[in-house]
């Protein structure tokens, strides 16, 4: 199946821990993103990579570090987790960055920090 897949689906951890979320797309897209969806369902862009190069870095704490080993993968590592990091994190890819190019989302990782 062609898709954007991210793991794990659920992640429950304690404050102060370090965790990673993995994302892979087999759609052949050049551009990948991380979005954060808060409890009110608002989707906020965090990072974007185009062909392994960082092109968007929103005002995200530097505890969040994305890594793109190749254009099909974009992982998110989070250090020193805080309660406020609890949210659903979505990976997405896009065939290009033209104005009408749509996003293809994974099914999300629900992160709960206790």
Q: How many residues bind other proteins (CB under 8 A)?
A: 26
| C-alpha to C-alpha distance for 83 and 11, rounded to whole angstroms | 13
For residues 15 and 43, which CB has a smaller minimum distance to other proteins in the complex?
43
List the interface residues with other proteins, window 79-98 (CB under 8 A).
Answer: 90, 92, 94, 97-98
- 104: nearest Cα among 94, 112, 113, 114: 94
Closest distance to other proteins from the beta carbon of 23 (Å): 11
52: buried, middle or exposed (CB in 10 Å: 19+, 13-18, 0-12)? middle
Among 43, 51, 61, 114, binds other proteins (CB under 8 A): 43
Among 7, 13, 107, 112, binds other proteins (CB under 8 A): 107
* Among the listed residues 2, 59, 62, 100, the single contact to other proteins using CB under 8 A: 100
Q: What angle do CA 34, 39, 42 make, to 5 degrees?
A: 55
Q: Is the Cβ–Cβ distance between 71 and 4 less than 8 Å?
A: no
Length of the chain: 114
Nearer to other proteins, 14 or 99 (CB): 99
Q: How far apart are CA 53 and CA 51, in angstroms?
A: 6
Q: Would you say 13 or 108 has its CB closer to other proteins? A: 108
What does the binding site for other proteins look like in residue numbers (CB under 8 A)? 4, 40-45, 48, 50, 55-56, 90, 92, 94, 97-108
């Amino acid at each position: 199946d062609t898709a954007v897949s991210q793991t794990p689906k659920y992640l429950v951890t304690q404050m102060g821990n370090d965790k990673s979320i993995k994302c892979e797309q087999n759609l052949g897209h050049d551009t990948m993103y991380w979005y954060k969806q808060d409890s009110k369902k608002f989707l906020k862009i965090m990072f974007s990579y185009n062909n392994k190069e960082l092109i968007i870095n929103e005002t995200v704490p530097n505890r969040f570090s994305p890594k793109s080993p190749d254009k099909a993968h974009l992982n998110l590592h989070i250090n020193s987790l805080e309660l406020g990091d609890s949210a659903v994190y979505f990976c997405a890819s896009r065939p290009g960055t033209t104005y009408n190019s749509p996003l293809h989302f994974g099914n999300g990782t629900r992160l709960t920090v206790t």
